[in-house]
């Protein structure tokens, strides 16, 4: 008669637990807000300013740290325009049969106060003088949380300011060169996976009780091997290994909008490749500065990390 070897069974059960996806020991998981795919009409501006023949429409009252405000500029003579905020210049972009638009991306570190200003400089045809519009801006607190978590001993070498600085410098080089075209098309952006969002954008993180850093994206629950889809159409500008992000794919969606997908176990695209929305760019994993399998998903607009979940919900042209 065959007997069940209890010790053997227990060992097997223990082995099985090693392959279960590790839960991120962070904030409670949340279900992502639903995102419609239907084309939505342009919302009404909350403020309209006219100067000469130039009309500026503002689609926000205040902007939270780490979020984006939308501006629209129209007028028959307008040929080009730039937006200046805190010594950072970003271009207005032309949308066919519509108008010029700009994203006012607020860095998560921008002080929350009601005395900010942004300046719009408009160049016009027929030797007409430039139009300059200075607008007041209130930046409000992002409500960022504080999190502590631990890295395994073999990854603590990734808690290094110089290493982090070098990775941000590398990203900076990638995020400042973008396609002057709306590559995202007419479809709305979509989540890279159908899963819970776990750890929020902008969090103040303390690793192993000593190393302080900021979270530039959102984390999503994903066991190793989950296919990851592009949040929108675009061009792959990076597909490879980074120290902190591990295996990482970065997509240029045009006009200064980028998305990145980190800690992948496999990459399925190459640099320079065009992708469509939802196209599988790789599968999730646990590479780089990670404490368990998950997807780190982040969005940069005008070389500024912004709340990817919030950006996806915005109306954009």
Query: Interface with Zn ion by CB under 5 A: which residues?
Result: 219, 296
Q: How far is the CB of 216 from Zn ion (least distance, A)?
A: 8
Output 188 or 294, the one with its CB closest to Zn ion.
Answer: 294
Alpha carbon distance 258, 237 (integer Å): 9
Report the residue closest to Zn ion, judged by CB: 296
Q: How far is the CB of 217 from Zn ion (least distance, A)?
A: 5
What distance, in Å, lies between the first and last C-alpha atoms of the chain?
A: 73
C-beta of residue 202 within 8 angstroms of C-beta of residue 142: yes
Q: How far is the CB of 219 from Zn ion (least distance, A)?
A: 4
Output 63 or 197, the one with its CB closest to Zn ion.
Answer: 197
Output 60 or 261, the one with its CB closest to Zn ion.
Answer: 261
User: Strand pairing of 266-267 and 227-229?
Assistant: unpaired
- The SS3 assignment for 309 reads helix
Question: Please, which contacts does 311-314 make with residues 24 or more away whose CB atoms are closer than 8 Å?
Answer: 311/67, 311/68, 311/189, 312/35, 312/188, 312/189, 312/190, 312/191, 312/231, 313/33, 313/35, 314/68, 314/70
Output 120 or 220, the one with its CB closest to Zn ion.
Answer: 220
Q: How far is the CB of 147 from Zn ion (least distance, A)?
A: 10
Q: How many helices (H) and strands (E) does the chain have?
A: 3, 24
From edge to edge, which strands make up the β-sheet containing 146-149? Answer: 146-149, 204-207, 211-214
Q: Sign of the CA dihedral 287, 290, 296, 300?
A: negative
Output 219 or 252, the one with its CB closest to Zn ion.
Answer: 219
Q: How far is the CB of 274 from Zn ion (least distance, A)?
A: 26
Output 122 or 251, the one with its CB closest to Zn ion.
Answer: 251
Q: How far is the CB of 289 from Zn ion (least distance, A)?
A: 9
How many Å separate Cα 282 from the centre of its chain?
17
């Amino acid at each position: 008669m065959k007997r069940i070897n209890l010790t053997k069974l227990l060992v097997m059960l223990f082995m099985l637990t090693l392959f279960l996806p590790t839960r991120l020991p962070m904030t409670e998981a949340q279900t992502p807000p639903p995102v419609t795919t239907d084309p939505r009409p342009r919302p009404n501006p909350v403020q309209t300013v006219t100067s000469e023949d130039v009309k500026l429409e503002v689609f926000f009252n205040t902007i939270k740290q780490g979020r984006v405000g939308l501006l629209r500029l129209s007028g028959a003579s307008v040929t080009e325009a730039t937006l200046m905020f805190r010594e950072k210049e970003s271009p207005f972009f032309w949308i066919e049969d519509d108008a010029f638009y700009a994203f006012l991306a607020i860095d998560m570190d921008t002080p929350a106060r009601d005395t900010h200003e942004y300046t719009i400089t408009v160049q016009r045809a027929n030797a007409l003088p430039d139009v300059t519009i200075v607008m007041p801006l209130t930046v409000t607190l992002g409500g960022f949380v504080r999190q502590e978590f631990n890295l395994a001993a073999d990854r603590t070498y990734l808690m290094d300011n110089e290493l982090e600085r070098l990775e941000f410098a590398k990203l900076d080089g990638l995020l400042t060169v973008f396609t002057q075209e709306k590559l995202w098309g007419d479809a709305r952006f979509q989540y890279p996976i159908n899963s819970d969002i776990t750890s929020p954008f902008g969090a103040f993180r303390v690793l192993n009780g000593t190393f302080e850093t900021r979270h530039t994206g959102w984390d999503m629950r994903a066991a190793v091997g989950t296919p990851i889809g592009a949040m929108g159409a675009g061009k792959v500008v990076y597909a490879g290994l980074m120290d902190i992000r591990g295996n990482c794919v970065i997509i240029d969606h045009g006009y200064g909008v980028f998305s990145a997908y980190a800690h992948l176990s496999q990459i399925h695209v190459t640099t320079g490749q065009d992708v469509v929305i939802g196209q599988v760019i790789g599968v999730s994993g646990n590479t780089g500065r990670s404490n368990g399998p998950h997807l780190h998903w982040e969005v940069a607009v005008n070389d500024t990390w912004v709340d990817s979940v919030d950006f996806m919900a915005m109306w954009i042209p």
